[in-house]
């Protein structure tokens, strides 16, 4: 029953988005105090000889990607004073971030939009001191 409601919500959002009458800010949800742990960026565990480097990592629910860059409004510190640059594309992260003139050393987050084994989205934090928690404001597929 709850899954049907979520699917109906997604259909209504898609319909209103196509008509251009949907205020995006009304769909944003905030999740505060998400714990940060360390996880290897390499998801292939084929060879036990390769030892990866653990990176600051956290998980968020799946995103509604129909709104492009407007899907993620904020990822950063819990006091909302330090927003991170957000990359959702590996190409943009690897090439454009490398050649940035300003802000290259500021914290940034790579959001791997493919769901992991838990049905969540992996996010990796770079250039930031070890943080215990982060906050996220975004449009999620499932509001639960």
- Tens-digit pLDDT profile for residues 14-72: 777 777 787 877 778 898 999 998 888 777 666 555 556 788 889 999 888 777 777 88
Residue 131 DSSP class = -
Q: Is residue 3 exposed (0-12), middle (13-18) or buried (19+ Cβ within 10 Å)?
A: exposed
pTM score of the predicted model: 0.82
Domain ranges of the chain: 25-138
Torsion of CA 79, 82, 85, 88, to 10 degrees: -20
């Amino acid at each position: 029953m709850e899954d049907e409601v979520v699917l109906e919500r997604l259909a209504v959002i898609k319909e209103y988005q196509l008509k251009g009458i949907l205020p995006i800010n009304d769909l944003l949800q905030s999740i505060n105090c998400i714990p940060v742990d360390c996880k290897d960026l390499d998801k292939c565990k084929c060879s036990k000889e390769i030892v990866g480097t653990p990176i600051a990592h956290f998980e968020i629910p799946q995103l509604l990607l129909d709104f492009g860059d407007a899907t993620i409004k904020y990822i950063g510190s819990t006091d909302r004073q330090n927003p991170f640059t957000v990359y959702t594309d590996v190409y943009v992260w690897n090439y454009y971030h490398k050649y940035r003139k300003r802000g290259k050393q500021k914290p940034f987050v790579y959001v791997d939009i493919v769901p992991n084994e838990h049905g969540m989205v992996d996010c990796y934090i770079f250039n930031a001191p070890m943080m215990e928690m982060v906050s996220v404001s975004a449009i999620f597929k499932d509001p639960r």
